[in-house]
Amino acid sequence: MSPPINIIEKNYSNGKPFTDVRIAVINRENLRQITIQKKVRIDTGFDAGVHVRESEMLELSTIGIRPTPGSATLAGDVTAKAYFCFAYLQQIGDFELPPPGMEVTLMFQGSGREGLLGLEILNNWIVTFNGPEQFFKIVHPEA
Amino acid sequence: MALDTLFDATIPGSELVKYESSIDSPLLIDREGDKPWTKQIGINSTIEPANYLISSDRELMIEKQLGKIELSEFPVDHPWLPQRALKILSKLEEGPIAEKELLLLMDLVADRATDHFQLEEGRFVALTFLGRVVEVSDTRVGLLKKIQGRKFSEQIFVWRVGFNSFSGRT
């Protein structure tokens, strides 16, 4: 049995649990890829992988990927148009995931600068929020 | 009085399977397991039993018989859509529409497709705006992986069966 792996341990920033991620979108037809680096907030209320603003999906056209439209439920039970594509989470904080990365849903919606990292990713790990000490910790459970 | 018919259906490389149909109860019955097929064949349809194609996993291959079982009011491969959906679709053909209308259209189409194809709650589906099912998966990621990079003749959208949206707040 391998021991648990510490993925990230970080202090809150502005009272919230933020981290940096690197996501790659690959067009398997022509093998072209694009990477998106983003500061995201850990959000256990978001059920997909990574949420970024809609304008960021324009870059995907350069590799021939068009995210698929759909809808998303936002805070207050408001439904909004969103776009979705398949991506790989390659890095979280300083931790590099084994290639090609973790398969995730990348959602493009709205215009907020703040990205979100959701349950689809967090469910793979043990996440601890230490409110009083203002830090969070993500650990890969022992295999 | 029920009129029962018994017929054989084969395809190359598969075993011989016998089926029974009845005019009173137009179900296809698996004689070996005595399990009724879940899909019913309409009484007024003109399909001939001898022309059913049964695959090795015993699914009806309806696509090859479209011309025979299709009624103009109820196309087999996509559901009839409500007037509101058709109105928005015709607007969509002319140009971009408001976000609210697009969301309503997706909702109406997904609802009707769910009933028509008896889609299982919780599954993730990709649909055309006419209600055809393009792809189905148990997971969100699985669905997106299947459709990524593929070219479709019609615009598609993604949906989670039985939910208000594909993703979002839990």
Average pLDDT over chain A reads: 94
Compute the average pLDDT of residues B12-23. Answer: 48
B92 and B38 in a single domain? The answer is: no
Residues B58 and B109 in one domain: no
Q: In which band, very low, low, confident or very high, does the pLDDT at A2 lie, cut at 50, 70 and 90? A: confident
- For residues B92 and B114, membership in a common domain is answered with yes
- The answer to whether residues B134 and B89 belong to one domain is yes
- Residue B47 confidence (pLDDT): 47
Residue where a domain stops, chosen among B36, B69, B102:
B69
Q: Can you give the length of chain B in residues?
A: 170
Do A105 and B126 lie within an 8 Å CB cutoff? no
Domain holding B102, by residue range, is: 83-160
Query: Is A50:A87 a contact under the CB 8 Å cutoff?
Result: yes
Residue B27 pLDDT greater than 60, yes or no: no
Dump pLDDT digits (tens) for B94-151: 988 999 999 999 999 999 999 989 999 999 999 999 999 999 999 999 999 999 988 8
Question: In chain B, pLDDT over 70 holds for what percent of residues?
Answer: 54
Chain B residues within 8 A of A47 when measuring between CB atoms: 167-170
Q: Chain B: nearest CA to A134, how far in angstroms? A: 24
How confident is residue B4, by pLDDT bands cut at 50, 70 and 90? very low
> Which of B13, B38, B69 finishes a domain?
B69
B105 lies in the same domain as B140: yes
Task: Please give, rounded to a whole number of angstroms, the shortest distance from the CA of A98 to a CA of chain B.
Answer: 18
Segment A75-133, tens digit of pLDDT: 888 999 999 999 999 999 999 999 999 999 999 999 988 899 999 999 999 999 999 99
Which of B69, B96, B126 is the last residue in one of the domains? Answer: B69
Whether residue B46 is found in the same domain as residue B24 = yes
DSSP B95: S
Report all structural domains of chain A as residue ranges with CATH numbers, in order of start: 19-123 (2.40.70)
**What separation in angstroms does the CA of B128 have from each of A15, A37, A52, B78, B159?**
43, 32, 25, 9, 11
Question: A18-27 and A115-117 as β-strands: parallel, antiparallel, unpaired?
Answer: unpaired
Whether residues B88 and B156 share a domain: the answer is yes
Closest CA to A73 of A94, A47, A93: A47
CB contact under 8 A, B102 and A46: no
For residue B106, tell me if it sits in a domain: yes
Q: What is the pTM of this model?
A: 0.75
Q: What number of C-beta contacts closer than 8 Å exist between A and B?
A: 97
Cα-Cα-Cα-Cα torsion B37, B41, B43, B47, nearest 10 degrees, comes to -130
Helices B83-94 and B99-117 pack at an angle, to 10 degrees, of 130
Cis omega before residue A100 (within 30°)?
yes
Q: For residue B88, tell me if it sits in a domain.
A: yes
- CB within 8 A of B28, min separation 6: which ones? B19, B20, B21, B36, B37, B39, B41, B52, B60
Per-residue pLDDT for B42 more than 60? no
Checking ipTM against 0.90, whether it exceeds it is yes
Are B15 and B65 members of one domain? yes
Pairwise CB contact (< 8 Å): B170 & A71: no
**Percent of chain B topping pLDDT 90:** 42
Domain count, chain B: 2
Cα atoms found within 13 Å of the Cα of residue A97, Cβ hemisphere only:
20
Domain check: are B99 and B148 in the same one? yes
**Measured between CA atoms, how close is A63 to chain B, in angstroms?**
10
Question: pLDDT higher for B64 or B1?
Answer: B64
- Residue A28 · residue A6 · CB < 8 Å: no
Helix, strand or coil for residue B159?
strand
Q: Does residue B46 sit in the same domain as residue B94?
A: no
**Mean per-residue pLDDT, A37-51:** 96
Instruction: Lowest mean pLDDT of B77-81, B148-152, B157-161, name the range.
Output: B77-81
Together in a domain, B149 and B97: yes
Q: A121-143: per-residue pLDDT in tens?
A: 999 999 999 999 999 999 999 76
pLDDT mean across residues, chain B: 72
